[in-house]
Amino acid sequence: MSTVTTGGTGKRETVLLSHAFGDETRQRLEELFPEVRFVLLPASGEVPRDAEGARVLLRKSMPHDALHTAMDGAPHLAWIHTASAGFNWVLTPRVAATDIVLTRTADVLNKPIAEFVVALYLALLKGLPAFLRQQRERDWRRPPSLGSPSGGTAVVLGAGAIGRETAVRLGALGMRVLGVKRDPAPVPGFDEMTAPSGLRDLLPRADLLVIACPLTPETHHLVGAEEFALMKRGSYLVNIARGPVVVEGAMIAALQDGTLAGAGLDVFDTEPLPADNPLWALPNVIVTPHVSYLADQNEEGMIEEFGDNLRRFLEGRPLLNALKSRELGY
């Protein structure tokens, strides 16, 4: 068996796996990398003494306290890969204060999330929530008309991996897709691109606003009452990014007064969504429990993407999908 040494100790490279992965994933990684030792951590994040030299942590569904416990037990950590699409699950103030390299699963979760955006929008546009209520009541009743995405305009706030996949799918439905991102250079799949300072100029054109940007100090409460007032009456909102990008109270008011015809929400200010939150009861809202990323093939895709980076790490090459700015959070 070939070995990969660390720090000249002659020991095999050790990779820590958070508890959520389980033995099946560990065994799959061992098959792909027989020269590497993979250690599955308990839910507490406590690192076995014989794994204290680990330099890599593969993280999924790991609470911050468990993450910090793992950092305590593996003081030589040099790289953390998160199975999430965003960095906020792992970029705690303590992690941000280190020089640990952070990477994310960028090109696996983006596709099911983009599919979910389309599913939510079409469900709202075609009146599925009302039809489901009618089904429960055995009420055979037809509306005067139903919406269609064809010919409409979508504004996608955030043109990263998720935004790009979303734009391609919305474009296939016959929509014109306008993007907002820090660097307004053209991006395939988008008909137009603008900087965040131009968001308000795009909103009056939007039949659909998709929130697909990371949550940062700059994007916190980026969409509020003033932004909703600029939108077409009867437009739609889909948020699969983070709840606090939108001012929740302003969104609820826009849903109640008809500014928004409906909203598909997979993320919220507080998760789980409290039982007394008015969003539960609004008939023009679809509430889903932060599941847009779920897909049967995610685990295999994540392993493949992490595996590509692990090979790079072992060979001393730069890692892909790394955090660009600790200050910006992406």
Catalytic residue among 164, 242, 248, 305: 242
Quick check: 16 and 51 in contact, CB under 8 A?
Answer: yes
Please give, one letter per residue, the 3-state secondary structure of 126-185.
Answer: CCHHHHHHHHHCCCCCCCCCCCCCCCCEEEEECCCHHHHHHHHHHHHCCCEEEEECCCCC
Q: How far apart are CA 232 and CA 260, in angstroms?
A: 8
49 is catalytic: no
169 is catalytic: no
Helix locations, 216-268, DSSP H = 225-230, 248-257
H/E stretch holding 28 reads helix 22-32
Query: Phi then psi for 34, rounded to 5 degrees?
Result: -65, -15
Q: Give the pair of three-digit tokens for residue 69.
A: 């416990």
Q: How far apart are CA 177 and CA 117, in angstroms?
A: 14
Catalytic residue among 182, 271, 311, 317: 271
Strands 14-17 and 37-40 come out as: parallel
Catalytic residue among 290, 299, 312, 326: 290
68 is catalytic: no
Quick check: 330 and 324 in contact, CB under 8 A?
Answer: yes
**Which are the catalytic amino acids?**
242, 271, 290
